[in-house]
Amino acid sequence: MHIHILGICGTFMGGIAAIAKALGHKVTGSDANVYPPMSTQLEQLGIELTQGWDPAQLEPAPDLVIIGNALSRGNTAVEHVLNTNLRYTSGPQWLAEQVLHDRWVLAVSGTHGKTTTSTMLAWILDYAGLKPGFLIGGIPQNFDCSARLGESPFFVIEADEYDTAFFDKRSKFVHYRPRTLVINNLEYDHADIFPDLAAIQRQFHHLLRMVPANGLVLAPEDTPAIKQTLDMGCWSERQSYGSAWTAELLQTDGSQFALYYQQEKLGELSWQLNGQHNVDNAVMAIAAARHAGVPVTIALEALARFVAPKRRMELKADIADIRVYDDFAHHPTAISTTLQGIRNKVGGKRVLAVLEPRSNTMRMGVHQAALPLALALADQVYLYEPANANWSLDALARSLAPKASLSRDIDALVQLLADQAMPGDSIVIMSNGGFGGIHDKLIKALTAKWEHK
């Protein structure tokens, strides 16, 4: 079968492409921006890529078109699909029908931590020799790919609540029908498609309705939004993090902790990650893997060798004892937990937070009232206001005075950071996008400044 994928270069759709290729299909695709690293990965798989939306890419007609959720009515390729009555579907629907229908699906959902937790879970199963399939919405460093078909019944998927496609406004995850479901947390996000938290909870409850009675739902016990959702009806076994599963920090930065189940100590973990949020992610991954038959001792061994996915407090450079980190944090809670983790790690040394409010919700200004508290642990805050922001960051900068500055030019921001950074500093760059190449520009500027000293 010839499958053509519109919007192929996103992490999720690129993963769909890789899995379709592994199933023996001829796969082609297109996107608005075809560039590395995803374009390189796809081309290495023998997938032909087209830049843009020219309908000519759909001639001769493929057997099936998979349409990514970034595309909408008015797109020339989408209009051609509809006008010529080509067979089309969404990525989640195709995955459900062609891959997941006879698999033990382990789905990781929640507002934060999905990528890290699903990567942990896939790695634990792989380390245990189970050879799982997986599709992760990020770039794992324990694997050489973000998606694979796998060689066992187990399939780990990052279960995103964002909508499926322009023709299917349900959350992606309602297609996955998991046997093991992790709900890490639940907050208001994606203001571009959800009017309020209740609308998100409704989608999560659709997901809960599909977990079988002999399945397992793992969730924290102290999250009101999750409790309200579970109270709408849950027909599966439940285990809670905070009562059944608990963790005791042995180092305040979270780099070492003890794990307990039903008050029985199961072991300890010393690992590369830090932060309470990563301890939480680890406990969820261990509990989910246990449901699939992996002993906790094996899971702890696996996580001792775990490397965080790219863009999750990824150390990009250490120049003259100035550390530059890249982090995906794009929600006040994620910003706060990220900064708490690095603060516990570095103690009294300076933490410089650099924020681009780039996600749709952040651009809309929905979370602006929560940002001052989220950024409170940073010693200095550098705000960047993108041209497409729907609100001015001036008031936020004033509320954080005197430790905050506001820039509207990337190069000026890089120069300011290079001028003010000192040995011992940790610079945490937070954005869910490319941030105008700020990471490489800053590393270059710091290297130029300090290499002769």
pLDDT by 10s per residue, the chain, length 453: 999 999 998 889 999 999 999 999 999 999 998 766 777 888 888 999 999 999 999 999 999 999 999 999 999 999 999 999 999 999 999 999 999 999 999 999 998 889 999 999 999 999 999 999 999 988 888 898 889 999 999 999 999 999 999 999 999 999 999 999 999 989 877 778 888 999 999 999 999 999 999 999 999 998 999 999 999 999 999 999 999 999 999 998 899 999 999 999 999 999 998 888 899 999 999 999 999 999 999 999 999 999 988 778 888 999 999 999 998 877 888 888 889 888 988 999 999 999 988 766 666 666 677 888 889 899 999 999 888 777 788 888 888 889 988 989 999 999 999 999 999 999 999 887 778 889 999 999 999 988 766
Which domains does the chain carry? Answer: 2-90 (3.40.50.720), 99-304 (3.40.1190.10), 314-450 (3.90.190.20)
The tokens of 400 are what? 């954080």
Distances (CA, A) of 412 to 136, 218, 336: 35, 46, 26
Distances (CA, A) of 413 to 18, 355, 422: 38, 11, 16
pLDDT of residue 39: 78
> Which parts of 7-85 are beta strand (E)?
26-31, 48-51, 64-67
Residues that constitute the known binding site for ATP = 110-116
Residue 313 class from Cβ within 10 Å (0-12 exposed, 13-18 middle, 19+ buried)?
buried
pLDDT of residue 219: 97
- CA 132 – CA 105 distance, rounded (Å): 10
Phi/psi-derived region of residue 129, left when phi > 0, alpha when psi is between -120 and 50, beta in every other case = left
pLDDT of residue 362: 66
Residues that constitute the known binding site = 110-116
pLDDT of residue 365: 62
- CA 440 – CA 370 distance, rounded (Å): 29
Reported pTM: 0.86
pLDDT of residue 364: 64
The tokens of 344 are what? 């516990």
The tokens of 202 are what? 């409704």
CB atoms within 10 A of CB 243: 12
**Three-state secondary-structure class, residue 44:** helix
Task: Give me the DSSP letters along 228-291.
Answer: HHHHT---SEEEEETTTEEEEESSTTSSEEEEEETTEEEEEEE-S--SHHHHHHHHHHHHHHHH
Phi/psi-derived region of residue 230, left when phi > 0, alpha when psi is between -120 and 50, beta in every other case = alpha
Instruction: Tell me if 284 sits within 8 A of 117, measured CB to CB.
Output: yes
pLDDT of residue 393: 82
- CA 405 – CA 421 distance, rounded (Å): 14
